[in-house]
């Protein structure tokens, strides 16, 4: 499990900078820079997704990762102890990013 800080307040799963989803997917298979990654689990607040009110708020999350060039990617799982997902008031997945991405190539 990874400690996850999320600044994407426009996401339905964000509650006080914690992710209520419990597991996320970082996308960006060929990423070489942070802005080429995104949170594939993002759902816009106000969309048809259920409210996060009934979900467990936690900073500990299971993070799957498709960013093959990231130092922390170990068999498609994030091995970092602590990461950040950035994006503020994002309205789409592509407006988010893994702020902790570190290119190993």
Helix (H) or strand (E) holding 24: strand 23-27
> pLDDT, tens digit, for every residue of 6-63?
999 999 999 888 888 889 999 999 999 999 999 999 999 876 555 544 566 677 789 9
Q: What is the pTM of this model?
A: 0.86
> pLDDT, tens digit, for every residue of 86-105?
998 899 999 999 999 999 87
Residues in CB range of 90: below 8 A, 6 or more apart: 8, 10, 11, 42, 44, 96
Please name every residue paired with 19 in a beta bridge, in sequence order, or none if there are none.
14, 58
Residue with tokens 């009934």: 54
């Amino acid at each position: 499990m990874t400690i996850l800080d999320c600044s994407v307040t426009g996401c339905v799963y964000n509650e006080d900078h914690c992710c209520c989803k419990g597991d996320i997917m970082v996308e960006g298979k060929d990423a070489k820079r942070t802005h080429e990654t995104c949170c594939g689990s993002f759902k816009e607040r106000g969309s048809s997704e259920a409210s996060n009110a009934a979900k467990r708020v936690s900073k500990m999350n299971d993070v799957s990762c498709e960013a093959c060039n990231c130092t922390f990617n170990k068999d498609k799982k994030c091995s970092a102890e602590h990461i950040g997902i950035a994006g503020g008031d994002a309205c789409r997945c592509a407006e988010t990013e893994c702020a902790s991405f570190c290119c190993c190539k």
